[in-house]
Chains A and B, each alone.
Chain A
Amino acid sequence: MYKAKVIAVALAVVLSGNVVRAEDQSALWLTDDQITLIRTNCVDVQSTLQRIHSSDALVRVNLGQRYETIATKLMAPLNSRIALNRLDSVELTKTTADFNEALAEFRTLYQQYEQTTLSAIEMKCKDQPVRFYDTIALARDHRAAVHDAVGKLNSLLKQYGEQFTAFRAQVLADRKES
């Protein structure tokens, strides 16, 4: 019983210590002058964020739709057609599965990024300048993650294209031989 209490207290101390460090990180970095500047500029920053938020939503809608089209109207039907013709398409199928997984990850990461940006836009930044600064730093990280997810999707598209070119060459060569 005594041991459990000690462990619980130690755990609470360790966890609370982490939280305090995380919250105070920016407060340690930012000088009073910088905090004042954030307080002064934050409404303009929120207005810029609002514009970025709107244009990002448009990019998300259009880009997501294009990726969906490629996955459902091109990749999946080709894989089915290859299978129906009893040809080997293991690599193409695997890349399609990876692409769908990366697309789901992109959706999740964008959702995370959008919510962080929205919280920065809706925040009372004059009252909480340090928290506002931290939220924007977090939004930067989330945006970088979305950028990476887009890069991964594009590299999978390139990979699928290369695999298809190799598959096409193989099929046409086999047809010539037979």
Chain B
Amino acid sequence: MGIDELKKDAIAMTKWQQHRFFTLIVGVIIISFFLVSVALSLYNSSGAAQLDLSKPGYQDVRQQAKRDTTTKAYPSTGPLDKEALDSFAKMYTEHTGRVMSVDTFDSAALSEESLRMLNGTHDASSAQ
């Protein structure tokens, strides 16, 4: 096929046929933008964003996060004799002790005394 024939074919092409590769690239980019925006909105709305310690602001605390892969589940089958009940009591006391021993999310961390936002004057509520 000579160059003249190719030129003739190109002239005979419709606009769509001439730009189909460009259209394909633009289409792929639009679809990928759409899919990424869906993924990001799911990431934010599902609560995964709050658990993601790989974000830049969490370098200091990342190492302290503990992945609990060692805890064995209490067997869901078997007889309920004294041994089985004692075993559960031991596991339950151990696990609940870890969460109940610490006071988390106390209000003092965000208090005016802690943040010292109005440092040097009266508290905002007293200035009414």
Which residues of A come within 8 Å of B, CB atoms? 26, 28-31, 33-34, 37-38, 41-42, 44-45, 48-50, 52-67, 69-70, 72-74, 76-78, 80-82, 84-85, 87, 107-108, 110-111, 113-114, 133, 136, 139-140, 143-144, 146-147, 150, 153-154, 157-158, 160-161, 164-165, 168, 171-172, 175
Assess the A164–B92 pair: CB atoms within 8 A.
Answer: yes
Distance to closest chain B CB from A10 (angstroms): 30
B17 CB within 8 Å of chain A:
no
From B19-27, B33-41, B47-55, the one touching the partner chain is B47-55
Contacts A69-B68, A110-B50, A150-B104 hold; do A30 and B77 have CB atoms under 8 A apart? no
Give the interface residue-count category, chain B. Answer: 35 or more
Assess the A140–B107 pair: CB atoms within 8 A.
Answer: yes
Task: From the candidates B74, B117, B124, name the one contacting A45 in the complex (CB within 8 A).
Answer: B117
* B39-88 CB contacts (< 8 Å) to partner A: 47, 49-51, 53, 57-58, 60-61, 64-68, 71-82, 84-85, 88
Assess the A73–B57 pair: CB atoms within 8 A.
Answer: no
Give Cα A58 to B102, complex, Å. 14
Which residues of B come within 8 Å of A, CB atoms? 47, 49-51, 53, 57-58, 60-61, 64-68, 71-82, 84-85, 88-89, 91-93, 95-96, 98-100, 104-107, 109-111, 114-121, 124-125, 127-128
